[in-house]
Structure 1
Amino acid sequence: MRWERVMLPQDQEPEQGREEAGGPGKRWAHTCNAIKGGRFLYVFGGFGIDNCQTNEVRVFDTVEQTWSQPTIKGMPPAPRDGHSCTNVGDNLFVFGGTDGMNPLGDLHILYTSSHTWISPITRGEVPEARQGHSAALVDKRLFIFGGYGKSPDNDNEVYYNDLFILNTETFVWNKAMMTSIPPSPRHTHSCSTWKNKMIVIGGEDGHDNYLSDVHILDADTLMWKELNTTGHMLPPRAGYLTITFGKFLLVYGGYTEDQKPYDDLYLLDVESAIWSTVTTAGAGPSARFSMAGDCLDPVSSGVLVFVGGCNGNLEVLDDMYYLHTGLTREHERRLDKLPLRKKLKLKCQEQNLTLGHDKDLVQVGVSTSSYQPVPQSIYGQPGGQSNPYNQSIPVQGKQIFEARLMEVFGDRCTIETIIDGKPLRGILFSSKPSTLPITFSSSSRRSDGDPSTVTKNGD
C-alpha cells in the first residue's frame, strides 16, 4: 500500500488564497462522502476557520483535482460537529451531532443533483439527540448506533448502546428490538457495512475506557455477535477513521488515554476475522484524530482518501492524502463460481495484501525461467504522475531482484528497486496495449531482458 499527498495549486498560496480557491481549509470533526462513483467528495460540518463550527459544504472533484463551494438551496442544518453523514445513493443523510451547547437529533438530506437541503418530516420512534454516534446503510435502511447525549432530568451525560433504524423511503424511525448481547454503550466508535451486516469497532465508553472490540449485527435478524478476532490486534482507541472496501476494513489514527494520537494503519478481514498491521510506502499523514475520509471506488479501485483532522498539539490540519491499497472488488466475487485455478490465485493475492509486511515488493526476473507472478496493482490512480526516465543501464545474466510496483499506465508499469545498493526505477512493457486494469501472470507478462526496461533513478 502506498500513501500519496494530494498537492493542489492552492497548497502553494497563503491561507487566505486557499480559502478563496474553495478548499475546506483546516477542518476536524467533519464528514467526507464520495458520490458519483468516487468522482466528487463532499465535506460537511465540523470545526473550520478560527475553530468555529460550520455548516459549509465544500466539494472536491477527484478528476479535475479542484475544490469548489457550490451554491446550495434550502435551509441548511445548523453548524455542528460529531454528526453522521451517510450516502443513500448520491444523497447525503446528516443526523445529529452537537451545536456546541446541546446534542442534536435532527435529520437533514442534501440532494447533490440539485444541491438542495431538505428537512424531512419523520414519524415513529425518533432517536434521542446525540453526538459521537455512528451510522451505516444496509439496503435502504439507515442504522444509528451509540453516541452520547444529555439526561432529560439534568445535564449529566448519557451514553447509548441503542439502535435506531430509519426507512429512507418512508422516513419512519424504529427503535430496534435487538437479540443477544449488544456492544457496551460508547461514542466516537465506527460503524461499517458489509453485505447485510453492520460492524461496530472500538470507541470510548462512559467510564473513559478505550475499546477495540468488534461486534457484528445481522441487519435481518437484529442479532449481535462479538467477533473473535486474531492476528496483530488493533490497540484500543477512539476518534479514529474506518473506511470499508468490500470485506476489508482499514482503521487509521485515533487516540487513547495517553493523549498521543496514532499514525498507524490496521486492516481487518471480516471473513477471516484477522487483524493485520499494514506497512506502507511513501510519506503518510501525521498522527491525528477526528479526520474524515471515504473510498473512491469504483472510479479508482481501492483508493481511499483522508482529509484534515487534529494532531496531538491540538492543531487543526488542512492536508489531504490518498492511500493506494491495491485491493480490488474481485475479492468479493463468489468463489464457488470460479475455476479452481482462479480460486487459488485469488487466495494468494489476498494473503499478499493482508499480511502485515510490505507486500508490494514483487519478484521480477530477467529471464522467462525465473519469472515470478506479480500481484494486481491499481489502474487510473487520481493524481498519479509518471516519473522521468533518461539513462539506461545494462542488465546482466539471469539476475533476480525485488521491485516495488508503483504505477500502471495501460501497456506499461513502473517499478522501483535497489540493486547493488543503487536505487533504480524502471518500466515493464506488455506486448499488447490495454485500457483495463492489468493482472500480471506468468503467461501474460514478462520482462524480456531488454536493457531499456530498467532505467536509472530520475533523481
Structure 2
Amino acid sequence: MKWTVHIEGGPRRVNHAAVCIGDLIYSFGGYCSTEEYKDWDPIPVHVLNTNSLRWKSVSCTKRDKGIPLPFQRYGHTAVAYGDKVYMWGGRNNAVACDTLSCFDTKTLEWTTPKVTGMVPYAKDGHSACIIKKKMYIFGGFEYIFDQYSQDVHCLDLETMQWSYVNTRGVPPCHRDFHTAVAYVTETWVNVNATGTLPEARRSHSAWLYKEHMYIFGGLNAKTKTHFNDLHRYSINGNYWEKLNVSGIGPCQRRRQACLNYEDKVYLFGGTSPCTLNNYIRPFDDSYDSPERLIDNSDLHVLDYAPTLKTLAILAVLEHDLDLTSLPQDIILDIRTMTLPNRISRPINQSG
C-alpha cells in the first residue's frame, strides 16, 4: 500500500459528493470560499478519468420541461445505481432540499423522478448507501425542526417509493457529517472493537475494500484537530489498526471525497488548516478558533497493490533521474502522474 500520485489543479471543492461509475469519477457540487455563488445556480459537475487522471467540467442538460436543473449545494449525498447517479439532500445559503435528482452519465441529463411514500425531511450532513436495489440514508440535520436526526429512510430505486425503516437494536445518537458504508443487515449493533481505535472525528471519509472499512482524515471539533491519518477496521475480526503508509500523502483535512475503484483510492478536495502567508478564510465551524482554512484542489491516489513499474517510476521521481533514455510509454506515464490539472488555479496566482 502506497500513496503514488499527488496532482494539483483539480476542482477546488469542500463538502462535495462523488461517485464512481466504471473508470470515471463524478463529483457534484460542494463549495469554494473564493467563489461567489447565487443560490439557484445549477450544480456544477466534474468528471475524473482514472486512467489519464484528467479532470473536466461537464455541461449538463435537463429532460423535464419546466423543472430547473438541481441548484448548487453542499452537504448532499450521491449514490451510483447502474449508469445513473441519484442525488438527495444538501443545502445552499437559503434552503435545504428534499427533492431527488437523477443524473444519467450516458446522456449527461438531469431528471427529477416522481417519488411516493414517506419522503424524509430536507436535511444535509446525512449519509447514503446502496444495498441491492435500495438507497438508505441516515442522520443529518433537519432544518424544519432545527435538530439532528437518527432516523433511517429507504428509497426503492426500482419503484421510487420512500419508506421509514424500523430498525432493530439501539440506534446511534443523533448526528451529522458522519460516514457510513453498506454491509448486509438492517440491525443496529454496538460494536466493541479492539485494537488502536481512531480518535473521535467528523467530516472524514470512509470506504470498503476487501472486508475492511477504511477511514481517512476529518476533524475533532473538541480538540480543534484536523487529521490526515488512515485507519482500517476489520469487519470479520472486529479490530481497528492505524496504518503507516509510505509515499507523499494528503495533508490534514476534512470534508474531502474518497472513491475506491479496483485497487486504488482517489482522494480529492476538502479543507485544511493553513498558515497566514497563504490565502485564508475564517474557520467556519461553530466554535471560536483563531485557525484559518484553505480549500484544496489536489488529487491523491492510494494504491493497494502498486506494480513494479509504478514503484520504478516513483524512484525516478524521488531521485530526479534523467528521463531522456527512458521508453516513451514510461515518460507518458510519468507525465500522467505529475502533470497538474487546469480546472483550478494555484492559490495566490494572479490574472
TM range (shorter): 0.7 to 0.9
Paired position in structure 1 for 2:193: 229
1:175 paired with 2:164, answer: yes
Using the TM superposition, give the Cα deviation of residue 316 of structure 1 relative to its aligned residue in structure 2, in angstroms: 0.5
Paired position in structure 2 for 1:281: 246
Instruction: Check conservation: 1:28, 1:309, Cα contact below 8 A.
Output: yes
CA distance in 1, matches of 2:304, 2:77: 25
Q: Residue type of the partner of 2:151? A: D
Using the TM superposition, give the Cα deviation of residue 99 of structure 1 relative to its aligned residue in structure 2, in angstroms: 1.2
Paired position in structure 2 for 1:193: 182
Are residues 189 and 314 of structure 1, via their aligned partners in 2, closer, same or farther at CA, if it must alter by over 3 Å? same
User: Match for 1:86 among 62, 79, 82?
Assistant: 79
Query: Under a length normalisation based on structure 1, what TM-score does the superposition of the two structures give?
Result: 0.60
Q: Residue type of the partner of 1:267? A: R
| Structure 2 unaligned blocks of 5 or more | 63-67, 274-291, 318-328, 330-351
Paired position in structure 1 for 2:69: 76
CA distance in 2, matches of 1:258, 1:118: 43
User: Match for 2:27 among 33, 39, 43?
Assistant: 43
CA distance in 1, matches of 2:46, 2:313: 25
CA distance in 1, matches of 2:86, 2:124: 15
Using the TM superposition, give the Cα deviation of residue 50 of structure 1 relative to its aligned residue in structure 2, in angstroms: 2.1
State how 1:31-430 maps to structure 2 within 5 Å. Answer: 31-36=17-22, 39-48=23-32, 50-52=34-36, 55-74=43-62, 75-152=68-145, 157-194=146-183, 196=184, 218=185, 222-256=186-220, 257-297=222-262, 301=263, 303-312=264-273, 313-326=292-305, 378=307, 385=313, 387-388=315-316
State how 1:442-457 maps to structure 2 within 5 Å. Answer: none
Q: Residue type of the partner of 2:45? A: V
Any idea what SS the aligned residue of 1:223 has?
coil
Query: Under a length normalisation based on structure 2, what TM-score does the superposition of the two structures give?
Result: 0.78
Deviations 1:194-246 (A, max 9, x none): 3x2xxxxxxxxxxxxxxxxxxxxx1xxx3211112110011110010112113
Q: Between the two proteins, what is the percent identity of the paired residues?
A: 24
Aligned residue pairs total: 290
Deviations 1:48-93 (A, max 9, x none): 3624457100111111222212221114211100000111123111
| Runs of 4+ more than 3 Å apart | 51-54, 377-381, 383-389
Are residues 281 and 123 of structure 1, via their aligned partners in 2, closer, same or farther at CA, if it must alter by over 3 Å? same
Are residues 52 and 274 of structure 1, via their aligned partners in 2, closer, same or farther at CA, if it must alter by over 3 Å? farther
Instruction: Check conservation: 1:31, 1:293, Cα contact below 8 A.
Output: no
Q: Residue type of the partner of 1:385? A: I
Deviations 1:288-320 (A, max 9, x none): 0000120011xxx2x101001001221111111
CA distance in 2, matches of 1:188, 1:59: 24
Instruction: Check conservation: 2:6, 2:248, Cα contact below 8 A.
Output: no
Any idea what SS the aligned residue of 2:34 has?
helix
Any idea what SS the aligned residue of 1:189 has?
coil
Paired position in structure 2 for 1:394: none
CA distance in 1, matches of 2:252, 2:259: 18
Q: Residue type of the partner of 1:292? A: A
Instruction: Check conservation: 1:306, 1:321, Cα contact below 8 A.
Output: yes
Using the TM superposition, give the Cα deviation of residue 258 of structure 1 relative to its aligned residue in structure 2, in angstroms: 1.9
CA distance in 1, matches of 2:314, 2:167: 53
| Structure 1 unaligned blocks of 5 or more | 12-17, 197-217, 327-376, 390-408, 410-459
Q: CA RMSD in A?
A: 2.2
Are residues 388 and 323 of structure 1, via their aligned partners in 2, closer, same or farther at CA, if it must alter by over 3 Å? closer
Q: Residue type of the partner of 1:67? A: W
CA distance in 1, matches of 2:301, 2:26: 15
CA distance in 1, matches of 2:151, 2:6: 39
Q: Residue type of the partner of 1:56? A: P
Any idea what SS the aligned residue of 1:385 has?
helix
CA distance in 1, matches of 2:182, 2:312: 29
Using the TM superposition, give the Cα deviation of residue 142 of structure 1 relative to its aligned residue in structure 2, in angstroms: 0.3
Using the TM superposition, give the Cα deviation of residue 388 of structure 1 relative to its aligned residue in structure 2, in angstroms: 4.9
Instruction: Check conservation: 1:324, 1:378, Cα contact below 8 A.
Output: no
CA distance in 2, matches of 1:119, 1:149: 22
CA distance in 2, matches of 1:158, 1:290: 21
Are residues 325 and 177 of structure 1, via their aligned partners in 2, closer, same or farther at CA, if it must alter by over 3 Å? same
Q: Residue type of the partner of 1:242? A: A
